[in-house]
Structure 1
Amino acid sequence: MTSHNDDAVGASNNGILVIGEALIDIVVTADNSEPVEHVGGSPANVALALGRLGDRVSVLTAIADDDRGRRIADHLRASGVAMHPSSWSLDRTSTALARITADGSARYEFDVTWSLPSVPVVRDDIVHVGSIAAFVQPGADSVLTALQNTPEPTVISFDPNIRPALVGDRAAALAQVDAITALADIVKLSDEDAEWLYPGWGAEAVVDRLLETGARVVAVTMGGDGALIGSAHGKVTVPAPHVKVRDTVGAGDTFSAGLIDAVLHQPDLLQTPDADALTSLGRHAAAAAAITVQRPGADPPTREELDRALRAEGVRRCTTEGIGLFPY
């Protein structure tokens, strides 16, 4: 067995803990070329994006001590993500088959096991959970218990990232979304997630619903139409940057990481999330996600790349009233 005890996790670290699945995405493109394997899983992608930005982040997941599991760990560590030792708990590492269509969107088929051997004690500034880990048992109960036991003033971030093939009954999924949202500070979901959970409601009604349930800030991403972000102080729509989309794998996860990164470095954004604060959060997250969609797979930006994009955005807003955020 490989020794995994050198990952520094557990003490208060003024950083971020991500709890959730890590797996191997087996990507099949529309041109029917040979499948390519990438490290994936929504929470793992969020951790990867935060690590690329230089944030102090650790991940508690469930993988096996097999070739794919070690590849996941090496990939995350290479971007500065610490692996919780308890993550090595499966007999076989999970996979997801991602079929990329001609328009760059992805459709998934899953072979996933999700469990946690024990409920973690969260001692970080921010904890993020989401996707399969929030819904698939037996791990979902452990995730909820961990959040319920998370002390103030830890910021809780949640991205449902619904996978209909795995979450099962909508009523049960809604109950879990309500339970986690009641504890959360930040909730981010896509318009597809919103439609599955609340058919026919529309983004504004979904934002209102989640704010009433307990979230402080809610973001609904809408692809090329940007993102709607709301709080008790109002709502803003942040436009999507004008970029050439290579594929959308990891885009929503990078958006989540962008929100978390902004709050980590500017905690005041959550204290009174007015229109200016919401716009700042949205632009930061959208700029990060726009870099990811221009590259194949979940390949989020570095801090230097994001800073460059945000500087370009500032110049564009001054000269073209916000029409286009990138000079390319």
Structure 2
Amino acid sequence: MHSPDKQAPPAARQRHGVLVIGEALIDIVKHGEGTQPVEHVGGSPANVALALGRLGHSVRLLTAVGRDTHGARIEKHLSDSGVVVDPRSWTLERTSTACATIHQDGAATYDFDITWAVEWPGDPITAGVVHVGSVAAFLPPGAETVHRIVEQVAHDAIVSFDPNIRPALSGDRLAAIGQVESIAAMSDIVKLSDEDASWLYPEWPLDAVADQLLECGARMIALTAGASGALLVSSTARVQVPSPAVKVQDTVGAGDTFSAGLIDAVLRAPALLEALNEDALYTFGCHAAAAAAITVQRAGADPPTRQELHRAARAFAVKRSANAAIGLFAC
């Protein structure tokens, strides 16, 4: 278990790119009863990879898909944004799906048909950042492989983790807590929603959840709460970051874009991860919130390009009178 004052892995500075590990699937989205469903490429880790690819990063996705029409669609969708699907990802007979129903308030509920089996990569992992999470962190048999990979890279790469709890797939709650805290202990960035926190730690205030994960050994915790903003916490500081006021179309992929925004901020200004004072936390939070605010205004998981995020981050910084460090990401 890492100590709460864990330092960012120095070797990560010499490494290159992002490795995302986790599920990729087809989201079948229904906007209420009586409407025609629409298919989108989805899966939380795949959405994170997509968002980072659109922001211009070198990204590889290690996932589990089938050589069918859905699998081909996933690969094309990701490759169009510069994401490479690892060749070891073609392990399934049939690509997984998730049916998402969008309610009047824009929130989504899911019904899953998922198989998660991922191959252990034999070659050394040389990515500077490794992101894991969601179903891939809990669903056997692949969850064990994910945990082993994180153990392998934790001392050499920056590790990002988003539990993105799906109660129907996360198994027993106490067992899930053990898995979350075990991966958090090896992570530099842990992002989870208020719904994740509520399921894992019922009736705990968000501050207490953040403290628990810091105690496990995570360096930075980001707890998102939709329109109510986000709480970012380190061992030395905590800040509340507001959400931009936007018209929400749906929330599919919003949390994944927030995670990608945090990773993007770390890659663009790694020195901030060394400090994690109030200014650094606020910078990370505003950057991620601006990215997520673009996604919620569009149907499906449709994260921003660098140019779109540039404009949104500048507007958000002006409206909120953010500190000067925001300028790193608004130029």
* TM-score for the superposition, normalised by structure 1: 0.92
Paired residues, number: 308
Match in the other structure for 2:153: 150
What is the one-letter code of the residue matched to 2:145?
Answer: S
What is the CA distance between 1:13 and its match in structure 2?
Answer: 6.2
* Farther off after superposition, 45-54 or 310-319: 310-319
What is the one-letter code of the residue matched to 2:37?
Answer: P
Query: Among residues 164, 169, 173, which one is paired with 1:170 in the alignment?
Result: 173
Query: Among residues 233, 238, 260, which one is paired with 2:236 in the alignment?
Result: 233
Relative contact order (C-alpha < 8 Å, sep 6+): which is higher?
Answer: 2
Q: What's the C-alpha RMSD, in Å, of the aligned pairs?
A: 1.3
Equivalences for 1:1-328 in 2 at 5 Å?
A: 14-30=16-32, 32-119=34-121, 121-150=124-153, 152-318=155-321
Contact 1:119 1:142 in 2 (8 A): no
* Distance in structure 2 (CA, Å) of the matches to 1:62 and 1:53: 24
* Distance in structure 2 (CA, Å) of the matches to 1:193 and 1:101: 19
What is the one-letter code of the residue matched to 1:113?
Answer: T
What is the one-letter code of the residue matched to 1:81?
Answer: V
* Distance in structure 1 (CA, Å) of the matches to 2:79 and 2:116: 21
Match of 1:64, SS state, is coil
Match of 2:35, SS state, is coil
Residues 240-298 of structure 1 show CA distances to partners (whole Å, capped at 9, x for unaligned) of 10000000000000000000000011111110100000000000000000000000000
* Distance in structure 1 (CA, Å) of the matches to 2:125 and 2:200: 28
Match of 2:168, SS state, is helix
Runs of 4+ in 1 over 6 A off after TM superposition: none
Match of 2:169, SS state, is helix
* Distance in structure 2 (CA, Å) of the matches to 1:318 and 1:47: 30
* Distance in structure 1 (CA, Å) of the matches to 2:145 and 2:179: 12
What is the CA distance between 1:316 and its match in structure 2?
Answer: 2.0
Contact 1:27 1:38 in 2 (8 A): yes
What is the CA distance between 1:178 and its match in structure 2?
Answer: 1.1
What is the CA distance between 1:119 and its match in structure 2?
Answer: 4.0
What is the CA distance between 1:152 and its match in structure 2?
Answer: 3.0
* Distance in structure 1 (CA, Å) of the matches to 2:266 and 2:154: 18
What is the CA distance between 1:312 and its match in structure 2?
Answer: 1.3
Contact 1:52 1:79 in 2 (8 A): yes
**Structure 2: tracts of 5 or more residues without a match:** 1-13, 323-331
Percent sequence identity over aligned pairs: 60
Contact 2:16 2:128 in 1 (8 A): yes
* TM-score for the superposition, normalised by structure 2: 0.91
Contact 2:223 2:230 in 1 (8 A): yes
What is the CA distance between 1:32 and its match in structure 2?
Answer: 2.4
